[in-house]
Structure 1
Amino acid sequence: MTMFANLTAGFEAALSLQNSLFCFIGVTLGTAIGVLPGLGPLATIAMLLPLTYALEPISALIMLSGIYYGAQYGGSTTAILVNLPGESGSVVTCIDGHKMALKGRAGAALAIAALGSFFAGTVGTLLIAAFSPHLAQFALSFGPPEYFSLMVLGLVAAVVLASGGLLKAIGMILLGLLFGCVGTDVSSGVPRFTFGSLDLVDGFEFAALAMGLFAFSDIMVNARGSEERRLVTNKVASLWPNKQEFRESWPAVLRGTALGSILGLLPGGGATLSSFASYMIEKKISKTPEAFGKGAPAGVAAPEAANNAGAQSSFIPMLTLGIPSNGVMAMMIGAMMIHNIVPGPEVMTRNPQLFWGLVASMWIGNLMLVVINLPLIGIWIRFLRIPYSYLYPAILIFSVIGLYSIDNDVSAIQMGAAFGLIGYVMNRLRCEPAPLLLGFILGPMMEEYLRRSMLLARGDATVFLTRPLSAAMLALTAILLVTIISPMARSKRKEAFAEAN
């Protein structure tokens, strides 16, 4: 079947009444999450994971995906109107978007962000449809040594690209790997690190770990924060950029889309890295760099296009290789495992309706988001006026009910509460929890591929170096490790994250 025939079949699946409804729910929730500072797609997907047990796999993934790229859209609204990013990918949008709003061009800034994101999302969807089959076909030639080396490369790249200190990022990944070892050993059937507890025989519940690290810890952090929000009081008038703004924006949208599509493929990349990188590039190549920070339309267009393109393209390694490029993709793999779907290249052949239905739903969701974001700006402004003290009790109750519904057992709630405390401590220590989640997801898979490799090679560890693909990925891993150690690279990394913050 050709790409267009596959997409046609995908649209048939995605446009069913049930899947269209869950797509709408996902993008609407995602927009609201992006608008409300303090919440994020990771926390919300963690909260909704227990609900996906009762859904069809394709409906669950469509809804969770809609939350992710919907949050990229919604974050621009609060960034422009309040100078407060609702989602990390929208941090850069504050710089010029809010300045445009203060000049009375809030409508134009919102339109530039929405239309740029829609274009980037469309391109990202086409890239997934075009390149995923080829990458999946290539991945079928991977053996256990190649998969092990790829996962090692992914974890090391996540260390390089994670915000905060390098030692903290390494520590988070190692902690995630240790958490992944808890439970019954698949090969020997021997319980490991359970300390005699029957609740840990099957390992840590993924939904409890994710909800604790992100949802519960976010509640604790934001409940003690300030609630003061300064809104743009000027009425949002025209929602269309003028000729000058359009002329400055469209090349930035093209460059941001291209950059985001590439960076979204990288482990640890995705929307946030793409938006920061695109803004810095636009500022460097601009003929009027002094305009940036004062309301430059290109300063809104580039990061918004980049973060949405990065969000879309990050699905490619997750769907074709089973490798999560960021925390949200780790959540998506967790959702697939909940439904007994093994992520990797065989998803496309064994579950073509799920794969192509999910791809088609991304374009449908992006179209929905344009309709939702522009006409409903007044509603999102009212959302911004809701005090967080009214929100977090409802979020907490909803989360606890979701955890209890997994096995109708309080042990999941206790586990979630424990990880919530761990997440809160991590936040206070400025440790990013996303690398921990990547380590938790990839750890058991790495162990399995390591054992398979050693069995096939009869205990000869050089198998990882004698196979060309595996050796190439390990060589790239070594280069990244040298980069981490290099003082110059470390100083540049600190400067980049200092500018980002």
Structure 2
Amino acid sequence: MDLLTNLSTGFAVAATPLNLLVVFIGCLLGTLVGVLPGIGPVAAIAMLLPATYALPPVSALILLAGIYYGAQYGGSTTAILVNLPGESSSAATAFDGYQMARQGRAGPALTAAGLGSFVAGCVGTLVLAACAAPLAEVAFNFGPAEYFSLMVLGLVGAVVLASGSLIKAIAMIILGLLMGLVGGEMNSGVTRFSFGVPELTDGIGVIVIAMGVFGYGEIISNLSQPSSPREVLTEPVHGLVPTLADFQRMLPAVLRGTALGSVLGVLPGGGALLASFAAYTVERNTRLHPGEVPFGKGNVRGVAAPESANNAGAQTSFIPLLTLGIPPNAVMALMVGAMTLHDVQPGPQVMTSNPQLFWGLIASMWIGNLMLVVLNLPLVGVWRRLLAVPYRWLVPAIVLFCAIGVYSTNNDVFDIWMVGLFGVIGYVFIKLGCEPAPLLLGYILGPMMEENLRRALLLARGDWAVLITRPLSAGLLAAAVLLVVMVALPGVKSKRREAFAAD
């Protein structure tokens, strides 16, 4: 009964004219970001963080959340029509979606992706609403030692589940932790690692790092590649309604993908990405029905399952953020930054101290998922024409928008130079094959880990044994050690490579 009461409170908040407009804008921008290859939700959210200053906290988070799960929808459109995933978690969709489009079945493929995403998004939001209160109650039993151990587990999980090299992921985590040390020390106020630069006394802003590494870095990388003409389907998309046989095959795949994505989305690292590939692997290993098209040749299950999984994963990735204050991926790390900018302390206290924000955000996800279904299918023609626009024509507007946004945060030209510097650094990371998401997680979690470790040691009078004598803290650290041992095993290494391998 409490859940229904809380959800009614949330819908009352989400249904205000301002928040409905914000949901619509977030879903539309998210779809656009997903459709345009080379931007992605992390870069888009980083670019739009300054624009949320003028909004109330709940509206700002609703906007950013809409961009995130909207990008999961939009990425499938590009994957199906152009064989170029607009969002990394839609890569698995391209295997069969593009083949369906080449066979003249782009309409059923887009509908399968849209309906699967809608069902998964609604179920994922329901899981989030159901799990939020119990997990928040558990989180109230956490002390500083438990929070420190939980963050260690989160960083280890982000390394283990990263899609690239383990050594590079560890290096990025450490670099992010070191960058989090720049600025004033939280207890004494002594400035660290500022190198005499006055602008660094307050540390490096999360907007500067995220916009530079993810936004400008991606732009430089895309411009450095030779432009090749995209094979965009020029004929209009007709016949959006799948056949009865398609529906019969889609439904079990959607349910399996939703269940898998709901579980894997909670995990640190690329939950939605891992979920989409895992769902595609499960379907590929499920026997074919008589007369069914093989996978890789245009099987509708190969579209419905990964799209369901990545959308369910996008919704449930909010669970550790909203209940524990721990971001499981780079987008959620930016959400932590957005909450901090609006003076909202992430963690279980959000549910009790600001229930309108907590439940309003959850309720807005149902509204957003409905809007996305209504938006995506009628606008297929618009997105198809947009894909024909050369990327280099879009870049000047994106760069100008980023520069204005980052300048508006502190009215300081130094921030623009820093974004440019981090853009070059982000491009170097891409060329070296380093995944930048662990860097942002390390940067966000580093100061929080330091603060909780200091508090734990102060309460224990300097005794480091407090981390292993408290049962919950010891269990979390043991889980982190177990993850490290498991990933070192040869069999786990090979399975990890297979999970992210494309056919």
Tell me the TM-score normalized by structure 1: 0.98
Q: Which residue of 2 aligns with 1:276?
A: 277
Distance 1:234 1:409 in 2: 49
Contact 2:278/2:499, CA 8 A, preserved across alignment: no
Contact 1:227/1:388, CA 8 A, preserved across alignment: no
Alignment of 1:404-443 (within 5 A): 404-443=407-446
Structure 1 residue 235, shift from structure 2 partner: 2.7
Structure 1 residue 53, shift from structure 2 partner: 1.5
Residue 169, structure 1, aligned to residue 169, structure 2: yes
Of 223-232 and 145-154, the range deviating more from structure 2: 223-232
Letter of the 1:401 counterpart: I
Distance 1:106 1:99 in 2: 9
Q: Which residue of 2 aligns with 1:108?
A: 108
Q: Which residue of 2 aligns with 1:71?
A: 71
Counterpart of 2:488 (choices 467, 485, 489) is 485
Residue 469, structure 1, aligned to residue 472, structure 2: yes
Structure 1 residue 103, shift from structure 2 partner: 1.2
Alignment of 1:175-324 (within 5 A): 175-225=175-225, 226-287=227-288, 291-324=294-327
Distance 2:278 2:493 in 1: 17
Structure 1 residue 457, shift from structure 2 partner: 1.0
Corresponding residue pairs, total: 500
Q: Which residue of 1 aligns with 2:49?
A: 49
Q: Which residue of 2 aligns with 1:403?
A: 406
Q: Which residue of 1 aligns with 2:333?
A: 330
Distance 1:494 1:14 in 2: 41
Q: Which residue of 2 aligns with 1:459?
A: 462
Distance 1:269 1:423 in 2: 18
Post-superposition CA distance 1:294-332 (Å, at most 9, x none): 111111110000000000000010011011111000010
Contact 1:266/1:314, CA 8 A, preserved across alignment: yes
Contact 2:236/2:381, CA 8 A, preserved across alignment: no
Contact 1:104/1:234, CA 8 A, preserved across alignment: no
Letter of the 1:121 counterpart: G
Structure 1 residue 227, shift from structure 2 partner: 4.3
Letter of the 2:79 counterpart: A
Distance 1:260 1:137 in 2: 24
Distance 1:274 1:418 in 2: 34
Q: Gaps (5+ residues) in structure 1?
A: none
Post-superposition CA distance 1:121-148 (Å, at most 9, x none): 1001111111101100110000011100
Of 403-412 and 481-490, the range deviating more from structure 2: 481-490
Structure 1 residue 9, shift from structure 2 partner: 1.1
Post-superposition CA distance 1:399-446 (Å, at most 9, x none): 000011011111111111111111010000010000000000000000
Q: Which residue of 2 aligns with 1:4?
A: 4
Structure 1 residue 224, shift from structure 2 partner: 2.2
SS of equivalent residue, structure 1 residue 432? coil
Q: Which residue of 1 aligns with 2:86?
A: 86
Distance 2:315 2:193 in 1: 37
Post-superposition CA distance 1:171-215 (Å, at most 9, x none): 000000000000010111111101111101100011111100111
Structure 1 residue 12, shift from structure 2 partner: 1.0
Q: Which residue of 2 aligns with 1:25?
A: 25
Distance 1:202 1:483 in 2: 39
Of 266-275 and 169-178, the range deviating more from structure 2: 266-275
Structure 1 residue 462, shift from structure 2 partner: 1.2
Post-superposition CA distance 1:76-101 (Å, at most 9, x none): 11111111100001000000011111
The two structures, once aligned, show a CA RMSD in angstroms of: 1.2
SS of equivalent residue, structure 1 residue 175? helix
Alignment of 1:118-133 (within 5 A): 118-133=118-133
Distance 1:417 1:321 in 2: 34
Q: Which residue of 1 aligns with 2:349?
A: 346
Letter of the 1:270 counterpart: G
Distance 2:469 2:286 in 1: 44
Following superposition, which runs of at least 4 residues in structure 1 exceed 3 angstroms of deviation?
287-290
Q: Which residue of 2 aligns with 1:95?
A: 95
Structure 1 residue 236, shift from structure 2 partner: 1.1
Distance 2:494 2:101 in 1: 35
Post-superposition CA distance 1:234-270 (Å, at most 9, x none): 4311111101111110000000000000000001142
- Cα–Cα, structure 1 residues 476 and 381, in superposed 2: closer, same or farther, change >3 Å? same
Contact 2:288/2:294, CA 8 A, preserved across alignment: no
SS of equivalent residue, structure 2 residue 84? coil
Distance 1:109 1:55 in 2: 37
Structure 1 residue 500, shift from structure 2 partner: 3.5
Q: Which residue of 2 aligns with 1:447?
A: 450
SS of equivalent residue, structure 2 residue 285? helix
Structure 1 residue 491, shift from structure 2 partner: 2.9
Distance 1:415 1:53 in 2: 21
Distance 1:454 1:204 in 2: 27
Q: Which residue of 2 aligns with 1:373?
A: 376
Letter of the 1:488 counterpart: G
Structure 1 residue 223, shift from structure 2 partner: 1.5
Post-superposition CA distance 1:375-398 (Å, at most 9, x none): 111111111011111101000000
SS of equivalent residue, structure 2 residue 171? helix
Letter of the 2:424 counterpart: L
Structure 1 residue 495, shift from structure 2 partner: 3.2
Of 391-400 and 95-104, the range deviating more from structure 2: 95-104
Structure 1 residue 290, shift from structure 2 partner: 7.4
Letter of the 1:230 counterpart: E
Of 107-116 and 49-58, the range deviating more from structure 2: 49-58
Structure 1 residue 232, shift from structure 2 partner: 2.0
SS of equivalent residue, structure 1 residue 292? coil
Contact 1:74/1:373, CA 8 A, preserved across alignment: yes
Contact 1:93/1:300, CA 8 A, preserved across alignment: yes
Distance 1:290 1:314 in 2: 33
Letter of the 2:70 counterpart: G
Distance 1:414 1:404 in 2: 10
Percent identity between the aligned chains?
Answer: 62
Distance 1:33 1:206 in 2: 21
Contact 2:77/2:110, CA 8 A, preserved across alignment: yes
Structure 1 residue 484, shift from structure 2 partner: 2.7
Contact 1:227/1:387, CA 8 A, preserved across alignment: no
